[in-house]
Amino acid sequence: MSEIVIDAQGLTKRYGQATVVDHVTFAVSSGEIFGVLGPNGAGKTTTLLMLLGLSEISDGQARVLGHDPMREPLAVKRRVGYLPDAVGFYDHLSASDNLHYTARLIGISAAERNRRVMTALDRVGLADHSEKRVGTFSRGMRQRLGLAEILMKDVRIAILDEPTSGLDPQATAELLEMIRALKRDGVSVLLSSHLLDRVQSVCDRVALFSTGRIALMGTVAELGREVLGGGFAVEVEAEGTGLAQKLAAVPGVGTVEETSPGRFRLVADRDVRPEAASAVVAAGGRLTRLSVEEASLETVYTRYFQQKAGQLGDTRHAA
């Protein structure tokens, strides 16, 4: 699990004067789903293309499965699958013909080609549509066909650029399930997205991109603690008297706030739901609801960029 498959050190991309990716450093371990998140234009796609050897690296170093994407692009591209943003296929060809073309480019032997194409189409649920022209496919089906291409290629790393953008909720859920299936096969996944809530559920670790730099990196929970100031927020809804004091006395609870009558918000240093429940019951109250606010990537994200904007505003005022 700990073997590092993608290692980017100070990766930089410049177009003339503009620096699009600015000294980005991260590593992806084998079997991990790593999310590259950030607003549009933050340099996510450029970073992915540099790792694939499809875009020149201005500065810094990248190692993909031990190979340099600039010097040994074929070795990298043989074992890495790429699903571009809004992937396109040859519309006048059928789904299986499109995959057969790629299979020949990859160099899969004629004997094996048909089996691998059909297995891949079957796994993404397109077996019934294999002879249909891709021109008739919906966006979701195209994305799935793109995943089938990666499955067929039998890769060690899958690089997915905005795999869920433009998909309806059901298609998104199906696609994310397929990404999890990739992970179960032992494939490391590097995916980029600006849609956070969905992606959160599949990523082991994420890197938050902002104007070409990595602003934050870690697991979603770590980021939540870092940005949201730490602590668990437990919400308690209960009927009874003097509950606020009882709840404040629970070990580990920092502050208690009665947001509305019968509704309390506790900030604690750990998950205190069991203790809070027994405290309410012990005080003779009726517990109606108990929940813990998990750090959502969405809140981390908006809070982080709010803070940054705030700092920028401050410095402007100071100047």
Partner 1 sequence: MQREGSPWQGLGVVFLKETMDHLTSARMIVLELLVALAAVVTLSFATEQIKEVTAEDPFIFLRLFTTSRNQLPSFVVFLSFLVPLMAIGLAFDSVNGEHNRRTMSRILSQPIYRDALLFGKFLAGLVTLSIGLVALWLLVIGLGLIRLGVPPGGEEMARALVFLMVTIAYAGVWLALAMLFSIIFRSAATAALVTLGIWLVLTFIWPAMAPAIAVAILPSDPMTVFTGSQMLARLSPSTLFNEVVVSILNPEIGSVERLLFLSQTRGAVVGAPLPLGESLLIAWPQIVALIATTIALFVAGYVLFQRQEIRA
How far apart (Å, rounded) are the C-alpha atoms in residues 151 and 183? 12
- 209 interacts with partner 1 by CB under 8 A: no
How far apart (Å, rounded) are the C-alpha atoms in residues 256 and 185? 46
Q: Determine which residue in the list 39, 41, 59, 105 makes contact with partner 1, applying CB under 8 A.
A: 105
CB of 98 to partner 1, least distance (A): 9
Looking at residue 204, the DSSP 8-state letter turns out to be S
Contact set for partner 1, span 16-75 (CB under 8 A): 45-46, 49, 52, 54-55, 71-75
How far apart, in Å, are the Cα atoms of 22 and each of 7, 113, 304? 16, 41, 19
Torsion of the alpha carbons at 132, 135, 137 and 140, rounded to the nearest 10 = 140
Of the listed pieces 97-105, 116-124, 244-252, 275-283, which binds partner 1 according to CB under 8 A? 97-105
CB of 90 to partner 1, least distance (A): 6
Residues with Cβ < 8 Å from 64, sequence gap 6 or more? 5, 6, 7, 51, 52, 76, 80, 157
Torsion of the alpha carbons at 213, 218, 224 and 228, rounded to the nearest 10 = -40
CB of 105 to partner 1, least distance (A): 4
Per-residue string for binding with partner 1, 106-145, x by CB under 8 A?
A: xx--------------------------------------
- 162 interacts with partner 1 by CB under 8 A: no
Point out which residues bind partner 1 (CB under 8 A). Answer: 45-46, 49, 52, 54-55, 71-75, 77-78, 80-92, 101-102, 104-107, 146, 149
